[in-house]
Structure 1
Amino acid sequence: MTQIYFKMKDINKALILYKKGIEKARAFNDDVLIAEFNYLKALYIDSIDKRTVFQTFSVLKDNVMYPDLEELALDTANYCKEIGQFENSTTFFDVMVDARIQIQRGECLYEI
């Protein structure tokens, strides 16, 4: 829901859910969810903090979560394109393609 509100540019609702979500993720000590919430903040609040975005991608790779990586990389590329950061957009489209290749190689399966 947090990501949806960010995409809809409803920042107030997104921030409320972000704060609740990151607290819950920390309480459960869920490194993947923590990374994904940090990604949302890095993308939508911190004006594309590439370091944090790539840290999140690394966590997803380490956990063989290529479908999630593919989706977030595509969202990031589209967001960069939307705000006119075409070089960054290309970089993130490349990450998406690499994730898709890993999925097709059988590193993991799409959820059914």
Structure 2
Amino acid sequence: MYFAISCTQFKAGRSEEGEAYILEGTNIIKQNPNKLYENLFTFLEAVYVNNINEEQLGEVFQYLEQKQLFAYAEACFIVCADEYGKQGRFKEATAAYQKVLETQLKIQRGDCLYEF
């Protein structure tokens, strides 16, 4: 729940609120470890707090693809592409949209897991 709220806050331009929800979510993860949500919060931090930190993103996408969580990867690639576009980084945005298409193909072929 904190992931979705945080993401929504960032997309609406409310960075302080988004960061507060990341903090709340990561505090919950410390009490109740969950590798998926740990990576999803790292993703939000990499994109919105650390201005698209490529190293963090690489680790998150590696985890999602290794676990065949392509539906999550697709959503994250879309967010990345949008943020690259907002920054005028159109080459990176195009590459991210290409990853969206590749991920959608994997989903259509049934290569993914919908439940973790």
TM-score, normalised with respect to structure 1: 0.90
Work out the CA distance in 2 between the residues paired with 1:66 and 1:22. Answer: 22
Work out the CA distance in 2 between the residues paired with 1:57 and 1:28. Answer: 22
Residue in 2 that maps onto 1:92: 96
Q: Does 1:36 align with 2:36?
A: no
Match of 1:70 among 74, 92, 102: 74
Q: Counterpart amino acid of 1:16?
A: A
What is the Cα deviation at residue 26 of structure 1?
A: 2.7
- Greater shift, 20-29 or 7-16, is seen at 20-29
Residue in 2 that maps onto 1:23: 27
- Contact kept, 8 Å, 1:26 with 1:34, in 2: the verdict is no
TM-score, normalised with respect to structure 2: 0.88
Structure 1 stretches of 4+ moved >6 Å:
none
Gaps of 5+ in 1: none
The CA RMSD measured in Å over matched residues stands at 1.6
Work out the CA distance in 2 between the residues paired with 1:109 and 1:52. Answer: 23
How many residues are aligned here? Answer: 111
Q: Does 1:82 align with 2:86?
A: yes
What is the Cα deviation at residue 110 of structure 1?
A: 6.4
Please give the per-residue CA displacement for 1:18-47, whole angstroms capped at 9, x wherever unaligned: 101011123222111111101101101111
- Contact kept, 8 Å, 1:103 with 1:110, in 2: the verdict is no
Work out the CA distance in 1 between the residues paired with 2:113 and 2:20. Answer: 33
Gaps of 5+ in 2: none
Percent of aligned pairs with the same amino acid: 21
- Greater shift, 3-12 or 82-91, is seen at 82-91
Please give the secondary structure, in 1, of the residue aligned with 2:9.
helix
Work out the CA distance in 1 between the residues paired with 2:64 and 2:81. Answer: 17
